[in-house]
Amino acid sequence: MIAPDTQVMQGILALLEEVQGDWELVGEITPQTRFIADLGLESLEIVILATKLQQLYGRLPFPQFFEEIGERPLEERDITVAELVAFVCSNQQPLGLEV
């Protein structure tokens, strides 16, 4: 995985802050924030978030990403904002150039 890009981090944090009110999330969102334990996101909200991220960063291999997370031990299946940013940075494609 490549190093996280600060613009991607800022973009994802801004997106999360935007949906925070819609999803009734409380608290500050930081790179260490966990999606399930801290934000309480459910699977549908995660799918919606993935769709929004693909609109911003192009097609991303979420099925493989979620499969890798599912193979982790149960207590490690939550991801942080920083992990999501690293995933996006490693896999983003310029919009309009997806294959």
pLDDT block averages, 10 residues each, the chain of length 99: 76 89 79 90 89 92 93 92 95 63
Please tell me the predicted confidence (pLDDT) of residue 4: 61
Find out whether 88 and 57 touch, Cβ atoms under 8 Å: yes
Note the pLDDT of residue 94.
64
Confidence (pLDDT) at 99: 45
Would you call 28 helix, strand, or coil by DSSP? Answer: coil
